[in-house]
Amino acid sequence: MKRPILIHPDPRLKKVSAEVADIDDDLRALADDMLETMYEAPGIGLAAPQVGLLTRMIVMDCVKPEDERPPRPLVMINPEVVSASEERNVYEEGCLSIPEQYADVERPAEVEVRWIDVDGKEHREGFDGLWATCVQHEIDHLDGKLFIDYLKPLKRQMITRKMVKFKKERARA
């Protein structure tokens, strides 16, 4: 089932999400819903707070549909960056909670991430390129942080005002 995505500004997008204590069928159903919502958007990642649940789970798949590779849906529970490279990378980021706004963000080029999957199995894997950017963007959501928080205050304000207007217009339609 597809779920509606919260649009910035929304107080729920600024909260720190709670650790998952036990993995049950509700959580697995949420993971499926989040993947469906992400693919449908379309997006390359989605964090639980974006669908209104303040719980530490993210989904992602940075294999683009036009790539000649099979999709790789990843579900991460309680994800943590355990190490990050000194090397930085600049990527033009967007966010499904901030539609049609894009800006360059600098982040570590490579990160090692630890997480639990839906079967409770622990994983540890290094990511680079778009995957590294995406996983950091998603983990930020779990800490109530958006990519616009890395921008200069004026730019951030400009985007926030546009979003307030967008939400008002959407509510009237």
Site for Ni ion (CB under 5 A): which residue of 95, 103, 113, 116?
95
Q: Residue holding tokens 């991460």?
A: 76
Site for ligand GNR in 73-132 (CB under 6 A): 91, 93-97
Q: Where are the beta strands (DSSP E) in 5-139?
A: 45-47, 57-60, 74-84, 88-95, 98-108, 111-116, 122-127
Q: Least distance from C-beta 62 to ligand GNR, angstroms?
A: 9
Looking at beta carbons only, is 2 or 24 nearer to ligand GNR?
Answer: 2
What are the φ and ψ backbone dihedral angles of 88, each rounded to 5 degrees? -110, 160
Does 44 contact Ni ion by CB under 5 A? no
> Of 9-48, which residues contact ligand GNR (CB under 6 A)?
43-47
Q: Provide, rounded to whole angstroms, the least separation between the CB of residue 37 and ligand GNR.
A: 10
Establish how many alpha carbons lie within 13 A of residue 4's alpha carbon, considering only the half-sphere containing its beta carbon: 3
Which residue shows structure tokens 């590294």? 132
Q: Which sequence positions are flagged as catalytic?
A: 138
